C-alpha cells in the first residue's frame, strides 16, 4: 500500500492496485469472522456497539441499488449512523457549490465518506483534498465512472476465495470475463487484483468494439498474467474455473451504439450449464439483463446471489478496517475467541 493511503492512519479504499496479498488474505479472514460473529445475537450486538460513536456519509450521485444498500446495511451492522446524498441537485451543488466544497462540507459532519460518482478519479481527488484539511477522514470508492469499483472486486475475490477454499484457493485458476469489458469498471478492478495470485489465467470474451482496454492488458503483461481473447462464450466454458458475466453498459453510449451489436455469443444460456465444468462457478456483479438466463439461478454453480451477500460482509470488514475496529473483531478480548 502506498504512503499516501496510510498517511496519518487514514485508510482509504480508492483503487484495486492498493491491495497486496497479505492484506487480501487478512480482509478475507476478517470477512469470514464477521459473517460468523453476526449469526448470533451476542455477536451481532458486539458488532453494533463497535462503531456506534461514528457517523458515515453515503454520497451516491450515480444510480445504485445493491451497492448503496450493501454499504447502508454494512454501516448499520457496525452501529454507524448514516446520512445520504443521492442526487447532487438536492444539495448546495445545485446553487453552484463545487463538488469539492460539498464533500468538504459533508466531511465536517461524519467520520467516513463512501462515494459513487460518474467521474473517474473523483474518490482519489476527494481523499487527497481531505488529507490536506485539519480533519482528514477515510474515503471509500463505491464506483468511479468507467474506471474502478474496488469494493466490488474485493467482494468478488472473497467469493472466489470461499468457492475455491477446498481446491487450493484462487491460485492457478482460469477466470473468464464476459461482456462490456471496455466500459465495465468491475472487470477492470478485478483484473488488477489478479496480480496477487499465482498461476491465474484470464480469458476475455467481448464483442469486437467492447474489448478489454489496453491499459489493463499492459498491466497484465507487465505482471506476467497470461490472458487471451475470444469472441464466443461457448468456446471457453469447458476450460474455466469461474465465469464472470457482465451486462452491456448502455448508459455510456454516445449515440445508442450498443443496440447495433449482436450479443448472442456473450450470453450465458441454460444449455451452457452442460458444458461448464462441474466444479466451476458462475459470477455476476448484477444487475443482469439478457446476458444471464434466470433459469441458471437454481444451479449450485451459480454464485451471484451469494456474491451479493458476500459484498455486505466484505464492506463491513472494509469499513471496520478504515475506522480501526478490525483488530477488535479478530481478537475481541486480546486472545479469546468466545464469540465464534
Ligand atoms: C456494477 C457497477 O455499478 O459497476 N454494479 C454493482 O455495483 N454491483 C455493475 C453494473 O452496473 O453493471
- In whole angstroms, what is the distance from residue 307 CA to residue 284 CA? 8
3-state secondary structure 189-245: HHHHHHHHCCCCEEEEECCHHHCCCHHHHHHHHHCCCCEEEECCHHHHHHHCCEEEE
**Closest ligand 1 atom number to CA of residue 149:** 4
Q: How do residues 138-177 score in pLDDT, each as one tens digit?
A: 999 999 999 999 999 999 999 999 999 999 999 999 999 9
Q: Which three cell numbers stand for residue 236?
A: 471457453
Q: What is the pLDDT of residue 333?
A: 76
C-alpha dist (Å) from residue 112 to 106, 133, 205, 305? 10, 14, 37, 28
Q: What is the pLDDT of residue 12?
A: 97
Q: What is the pLDDT of residue 4?
A: 47
- In whole angstroms, what is the distance from residue 337 CA to residue 51 CA? 20
Residue 1 has pLDDT above 60, yes or no: no
Number of H helices, E strands in the chain: 12, 9
Ligand 1 pocket member 177 (CB < 6 A): no
Residue 337 has pLDDT above 80, yes or no: no
146 as an active site residue: the answer is no
Question: Ligand 1 centre from 282 Cα, in Å?
Answer: 16
Q: What average pLDDT does the segment 59-70 reach?
A: 94
66 as an active site residue: the answer is yes
**Closest ligand 1 atom number to CA of residue 116:** 3
Q: What average pLDDT does the segment 42-52 reach?
A: 97
- pLDDT class of 11 with cuts at 50, 70, 90: very high
Nearest residue (by CA) to ligand 1, atom 6, is: 285
Q: What is the pLDDT of residue 5?
A: 52
Instruction: Select which of 41, 65, 90, 95 is catalytic.
Output: 95
Q: What is the pLDDT of residue 2?
A: 47
Give the phi and the psi of residue 144 in degrees, each rounded to 5.
Answer: -125, 95
Ligand 1 pocket member 311 (CB < 6 A): no
289 as an active site residue: the answer is no
Name the DSSP letter for residue 108.
Answer: H
- In testing the pocket of ligand 1, which one of 62, 152, 182, 245 has its CB within 8 Å of the most ligand atoms? 152
Q: How do residues 185-199 score in pLDDT, each as one tens digit?
A: 999 999 999 999 999
Q: What average pLDDT does the segment 274-295 reach?
A: 98
- pLDDT class of 88 with cuts at 50, 70, 90: confident
Amino acid at each position: 500500500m502506498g504512503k499516501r493511503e496510510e498517511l496519518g492512519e487514514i485508510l482509504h479504499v480508492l483503487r484495486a492496485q492498493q491491495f497486496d496479498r497479505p492484506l487480501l488474505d487478512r480482509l478475507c479472514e476478517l470477512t469470514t469472522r464477521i459473517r460468523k460473529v453476526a449469526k448470533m445475537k451476542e455477536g451481532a450486538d458486539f458488532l453494533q456497539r463497535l462503531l456506534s460513536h461514528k457517523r458515515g456519509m453515503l454520497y451516491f450521485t450515480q444510480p445504485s441499488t445493491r451497492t448503496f444498500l450493501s454499504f447502508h446495511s454494512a454501516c448499520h451492522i457496525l452501529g454507524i449512523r448514516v446520512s445520504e446524498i443521492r442526487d447532487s441537485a438536492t444539495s448546495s451543488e445545485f446553487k453552484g457549490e463545487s463538488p469539492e466544497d460539498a464533500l468538504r462540507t459533508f466531511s465536517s459532519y461524519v467520520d467516513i465518506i463512501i462515494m459513487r460518482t460518474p467521474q473517474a478519479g473523483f474518490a482519489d481527488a476527494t481523499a487527497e483534498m481531505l488529507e490536506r484539511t485539519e480533519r482528514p477522514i477515510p474515503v471509500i470508492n463505491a464506483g468511479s465512472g468507467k474506471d474502478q469499483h474496488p469494493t466490488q472486486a474485493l467482494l468478488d475475490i472473497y467469493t472466489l476465495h470461499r468457492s475455491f477454499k477446498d481446491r487450493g484457493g484462487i491460485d492457478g485458476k482460469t477466470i473468464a470475463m464476459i461482456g462490456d469489458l471496455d466500459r465495465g469498471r468491475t472487470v477492470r478492478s478485478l483484473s488488477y487484483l489478479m496480480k496477487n495470485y499465482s498461476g491465474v489465467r484470464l480469458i476475455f470474451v467481448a464483442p469486437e468494439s467492447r474489448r478489454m482496454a489496453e491499459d489493463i492488458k499492459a498491466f497484465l503483461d507487465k505482471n506476467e498474467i497470461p490472458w487471451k481473447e475470444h469472441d464466443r462464450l461457448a468456446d471457453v466454458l469447458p476450460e474455466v474455473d469461474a465465469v464472470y458475466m457482465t451486462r452491456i453498459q448502455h448508459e455510456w453510449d454516445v449515440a445508442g451504439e450498443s443496440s447495433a451489436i449482436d450479443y448472442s455469443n456473450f450470453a450465458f444460456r441454460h444449455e451452457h450449464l452442460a458444458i461448464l465444468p462441474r466444479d466451476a462457478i458462475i459470477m455476476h456483479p448484477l444487475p443482469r439483463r439478457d446476458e444471464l438466463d434466470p433459469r441458471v439461478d437454481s444451479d449450485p454453480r451459480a454464485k451471484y446471489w451469494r456474491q451479493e451477500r458476500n459484498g455486505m460482509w466484505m464492506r463491513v470488514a472494509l469499513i471496520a478496517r478504515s475506522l480501526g475496529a478490525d483488530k477488535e473483531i479478530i481478537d475481541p478480548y486480546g486472545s479469546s475467541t468466545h464469540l465464534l
